[in-house]
Amino acid sequence: MEGKSQQSYDLSSDAGSQNVTFYYFPTSYSSQKVLLALFEKKVKFRPKLVSLFHAQHMEPWYVKLNPEGVHVPVLRDNDIVINNPDDIISYIDTNSDSGPTLVPCPDTALGQSVASLREQLNLVPVDIITYGIIFHPHLSPTGCGIPSAIQRSMRENFANRLCYLANKATKYPNLRDGYLARSQIAAQKYDIITDEEKVKGQLYHLDTVFEDVESVLKNTKERHNIDVETFLFGTEFTAADITLSILLHRLALLGLESRFFAPNKSPNIQRYYERIQRRRTFQRIQEEVDELRWTLVWEDVKAASPYMASAAGIGLTLLITYYLVKSLIRR
């Protein structure tokens, strides 16, 4: 993306904050990538929560906003709507003068290295690995960090998604194509995540990816003074670092840390992740998750009240929400 957009302001300015709306959910993998970019570039925005737990990303108002996207996020800047997370990051980088350059010029060696590794990391099917562990928890060496009750609910919800989307397509014929496209993608993913051998295949492929990442970090460290803090390609934090940071965070949540970046196997990745966890912008993502606590409780009460009028029913919903948020905050 060359040059600034047609907007006459810097996204990190007060003017930008009046025009930029970010539709997201803090525990969403793609949302976390964009959040980290927003924080790094000091972009001010109006947050709009789209709860995946309550299927708000499948509601007509959101499907109209994001007809081809499967989940979240979406960024709206006046009349400009962007729903691909990497395109959002590039747009943020191009249109904000603050913070590091996340997407270096592709004509440079650094730009080409960032683009290449970013592409490789983006090919990792994070949603399939996430649900693959939830459907086959024994594949996690140390156990998935999501409580078992929530994992059971996620399995059931995914299995029911095809019927839900088909009903939506019938109820909203003007959005039929969007719902059917989502249904087709969900069916393809369900065939993979319920097949243990296919999930194992994705994990084996990820072993190779992390061998490459370990090599990149090792080579970068050797080119710099031992006292200098480095990232993937040097002292600058880039879009490739954003993707790797959030990927490591998700794998740790799934209990896959010991498989992919244990100190005795991938010491450079392990030290890298420790540095990332101390980075203020990364910590802000955890704060976003923390702030979900009462929002989720309120949404659960509203969702439960028509169907679970008893105090016991609402109490169960609140208990599930509490354990979910507690688990996510620990990570």
What is Dmax (Cα atoms) for the chain? 64
- Confidence check: pLDDT of 183 > 80: yes
- Confidence check: pLDDT of 2 > 50: no
Rounded mean pLDDT of 86-105?
95
* In contact, 141 and 256? CB cutoff 8 Å: yes
pLDDT value at residue 59:
92
* In contact, 52 and 71? CB cutoff 8 Å: yes
Rounded mean pLDDT of 302-317?
47
**DSSP conformation class of 137:** G
- Confidence check: pLDDT of 284 > 90: yes
Alpha carbon distance 284, 289 (integer Å): 9
Closest CA to 115 of 100, 123, 124, 104: 104
Give the list of residues 6+ apart from residue 265 with CB closer than 8 angstroms, or none: none
Rounded mean pLDDT of 180-189?
91
Alpha carbon distance 103, 305 (integer Å): 46
- Confidence check: pLDDT of 265 > 50: yes
Least confident stretch, 99-113, 253-267, 309-323: 309-323
Alpha carbon distance 77, 274 (integer Å): 34
pLDDT value at residue 71:
76
- Confidence check: pLDDT of 307 > 50: no
pLDDT value at residue 116:
97
pLDDT value at residue 18:
67
pLDDT value at residue 293:
65
Alpha carbon distance 325, 249 (integer Å): 16
- Confidence check: pLDDT of 252 > 90: yes
Would you kindly state where each structural domain of the chain is located, as residue ranges? 1-99, 109-284, 291-331
The DSSP string of 181-209 is HHHHHHHHHHHHHT-HHHHHHHHHHHHHH
Rounded mean pLDDT of 290-316?
55
Percentage, residues of the chain above pLDDT 70: 83
Alpha carbon distance 166, 51 (integer Å): 20
Q: List residues bridging with 77 in a β-sheet.
A: 20, 80
Rounded mean pLDDT of 134-153?
91
> Mean pLDDT across the chain, nearest whole number?
86
* 1-99 CATH, one of 3.40.30.10, 3.20.20.100, 1.10.3720.10, 3.30.1360.30: 3.40.30.10
Give the list of residues 6+ apart from residue 313 with CB closer than 8 angstroms, or none: 304, 307
Rounded mean pLDDT of 103-132?
96
pLDDT value at residue 296:
63
pLDDT band at 316 (very low <50, low <70, confident <90, very high): very low
Closest CA to 237 of 1, 35, 50, 36: 36
* In contact, 305 and 313? CB cutoff 8 Å: no
Least confident stretch, 3-7, 59-63, 236-240: 3-7
Q: What ranges in the chain are assigned the alpha helix state H?
A: 14-17, 29-40, 60-65, 85-94, 109-122, 126-135, 148-171, 176-193, 196-222, 239-253, 257-260, 267-278, 280-290, 292-304, 311-330
pLDDT value at residue 3:
52
Give the list of residues 6+ apart from residue 277 with CB closer than 8 angstroms, or none: 283
> What's the pLDDT tens digit per position in 13-70?
655 556 899 999 999 999 999 999 999 999 999 999 998 888 889 999 999 999 877 7
pLDDT value at residue 107:
96
pLDDT value at residue 297:
60
pLDDT band at 154 (very low <50, low <70, confident <90, very high): confident
- Confidence check: pLDDT of 11 > 80: no
> What's the pLDDT tens digit per position in 192-234?
999 999 999 999 999 999 999 999 999 999 998 877 889 999 9
